[in-house]
Amino acid sequence: MKKIAFISDYFIADGTGGAELTTEAIMNFGKQRGFDVGAIHCAKLDKDKVEFNKDSHHFIVCNFFQLQDEVKLYMAKNCSYSIVEYDYKICKHRSLELHQLIEGTPCDCEQQLHGKINSAFYGYAERVWFMSEKQKDIIVNKVTALKEEKCSVLSSVFSDGDLRFISSIKDNEKNDKYLILDSVSPVKPSASAVEYAKANNLEYELFSNLPYHELLIKMSTSKGLIFLPLASDTCPRLVMEAKMLGCETILNEHVQHKDEAWFDTMSSCYEHMNTRADAFWSYYE
């Protein structure tokens, strides 16, 4: 049985963000296919632990903001590993636009020590999985050590149970409200979406911190979703959930998967989501 160790800053027990939901779904599909799947927090991983497991495990590294540079460099030289890239960890702010906002200059992290170490980490990976075509193109352009043939676009991954639940409520009767994520984040503020709704005389409702299935039910009874981030969002699950629940989606260019062919219709979105786990695990079989 092939041993796979997932390495991440956080897992589903730590919070139900989009990255954690996708990582959990990938891990569970791996277990179903007979892989021996384990999980290690970045903050608890050191070079000795990696060395002890390097000959028996393939490592799959997800969000790695807390991973020590020493561990990255050791893995690059000595280990078999892949990366699932959810954002832009080539940048110390994990966002090129946020870098510009904070620093006042375009992101040049790939030329700094942090970026050079992460560039090597990408470059030596056996496979790098991205969330969208646009994200992949931006990172490949910045990371010259990363070759196109080592890259695949995965997108978010949903569990079979979540897909069944979403499908079971997608035909719920809908009201006239558009949902807006209530956020003061510098890259996902609600203000621009609220302004859009008011300017277009759209009835809207702000939401935040709902349990996952409660959120899905609320979306299933809402007319649409307005999501206008101010920085690149590689493949937001919220938007995909809205599409599969039959909501109208009002988006901007920062939603990086919105123009990919699979996202065109509700049915094509379901079809795509049903292939994601196989696209990932068939590579390792």
Residue 34's pLDDT is 94
Given a cut of 60, is residue 1 above it in pLDDT? no
Residue 82's pLDDT is 98
Tell me the per-residue pLDDT of 140-194, one tens digit each, with 9 for 90 and over: 999 999 999 999 999 999 999 999 999 999 999 999 999 999 998 888 899 999 9
222: left (phi over 0), alpha (psi -120 to 50) or beta: beta
Please report the sign of the dihedral spanned by the C-alpha atoms of residue 140, residue 145, residue 148, residue 154: negative
Residue 84's pLDDT is 98
Work out the angle at residue 74's Cα, subtended by the Cα atoms of residues 26 and 85, and round it to the nearest 5 degrees: 30
**In the chain, pLDDT over 70 holds for what percent of residues?**
100
Rounded CA separation 210/112 (Å)? 39
Amino acid at 165: F
Tell me the per-residue pLDDT of 106-121, one tens digit each, with 9 for 90 and over: 999 999 999 999 999 9
Q: Which residue has the higher pLDDT, 15 or 85?
A: 85
Tell me the per-residue pLDDT of 36-58, one tens digit each, with 9 for 90 and over: 999 999 999 999 999 999 888 99
Given a cut of 70, is residue 102 above it in pLDDT? yes
Given a cut of 70, is residue 279 above it in pLDDT? yes
* CATH code that applies to domain 3-154: 3.40.50.2000
Q: What are phi and psi of 195, to 5 degrees?
A: -60, -40
Residue 56's pLDDT is 87
Tokens 């970026």 belong to: 115
Given a cut of 60, is residue 250 above it in pLDDT? yes
Residue 19's pLDDT is 94
Residue 153's pLDDT is 98
43: closest CA among 84, 78, 14?
14
Q: Where are the alpha helices (DSSP H) in 172-234?
A: 191-199, 212-220
Q: What is the mean pLDDT of residues 50-75?
A: 95
* CATH code that applies to domain 160-273: 3.40.50
Question: What average pLDDT is seen over the chain?
Answer: 95
Tell me the per-residue pLDDT of 210-234, one tens digit each, with 9 for 90 and over: 999 999 999 999 999 999 999 999 9
Residue 17's pLDDT is 87
Encoded tokens for 154 = 């995965």
Q: Where does residue 211 rank: exposed (0-12), middle (13-18), buried (19+ CB within 10 A)?
A: exposed
CA distances from 285 to 1, 4, 216 (A): 10, 11, 33
Residue 180's pLDDT is 98
Whether the model clears a pTM of 0.75, i.e. scores above it, the answer is yes
Encoded tokens for 10 = 């956080």
Residue span(s) of the chain under CATH 3.40.50.2000 come to 3-154
Count CB-CB contacts under 10 A for residue 260: 17
Residue 187's pLDDT is 85
CA distances from 111 to 64, 73, 117, 175 (A): 19, 17, 10, 50
